[in-house]
């Protein structure tokens, strides 16, 4: 088997440790989708997220709760015309976590594309 050059080995080790350090809270497809759609607006309500992400109400609610507990999003429950209205907003912490995740993933994909056998 052809041995990888030292630089390739180092990169593989780095990328593996990067994978281990990835923010798992953001990494879930549902939560990543929620964070993505909240990152492109200042604030949006639950109906907006339901439409854009395609999640069910139960799934959205469960993932929103996890993100809220982590301090990544802020949830404001209010009444509009006597109807409950849930407003969601990405916090600074959430925005940083989302950007950090993006950078890490981009770095990982770049390393993968540079490494031998990478596409």
Partner 1 sequence: MDNTEEKQIERRVFTSFFQAGFIEAFTGIFLLQLGLPALFSRSGFGDWQSALFALPIALILLIVVLLVRRFVVIPRLGHVKFLPERRRRISKLIIVPIITLIAGAIVGYIFSENASLRHTFVGQIPFSLIPIIVFSAAAYFLDMKRLYVYGVIVGLTFPLGKYLETAIVSRNALPVTILSIAFVFLGIAIVFLVAFLRKYQETGV
Which of the residues 43 through 72 are near partner 1 (CB under 8 A)?
43-52, 57
Task: Say whether 92 sits in a helix, a strand or coil.
Answer: helix
Give the shortest CB-31-to-partner 1 separation in angstroms: 14
Q: Which stretch binds partner 1 (CB under 8 A): 20-28, 69-77, 82-90, 110-118?
A: 82-90
Task: Say whether 72 sits in a helix, a strand or coil.
Answer: coil
As a whole number of angstroms, the distance between CA 96 and CA 64 comes to 17
Give the pair of three-digit tokens for residue 26. 């953001």
CA distances to 48, 59, 103 from 96, rounded to whole Å, are 22, 24, 10
Nearest CB to partner 1, comparing residues 3 and 42 = 42
Size of the site for partner 1 (CB under 8 A): 25
Which of the residues 93 through 112 are near partner 1 (CB under 8 A)?
102, 105-106
Which of the residues 22 through 41 are near partner 1 (CB under 8 A)?
36-37, 39-41
């Amino acid at each position: 088997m052809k041995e990888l050059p030292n630089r390739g080995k180092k990169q593989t080790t780095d990328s593996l440790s990067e994978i281990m350090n990835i923010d798992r809270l953001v990494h879930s497809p549902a939560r990543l989708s929620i964070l993505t759609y909240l990152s492109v607006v200042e604030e949006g309500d639950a109906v907006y997220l339901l439409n854009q992400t395609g999640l069910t109400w139960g799934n959205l609610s469960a993932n929103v709760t996890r993100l809220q507990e982590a301090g990544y999003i802020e949830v404001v429950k209010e009444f509009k015309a006597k109807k409950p209205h849930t407003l969601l907003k990405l916090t600074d912490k959430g925005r940083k976590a989302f950007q950090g995740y993006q950078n890490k993933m981009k770095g990982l994909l770049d390393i993968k594309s540079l490494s031998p056998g990478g596409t």
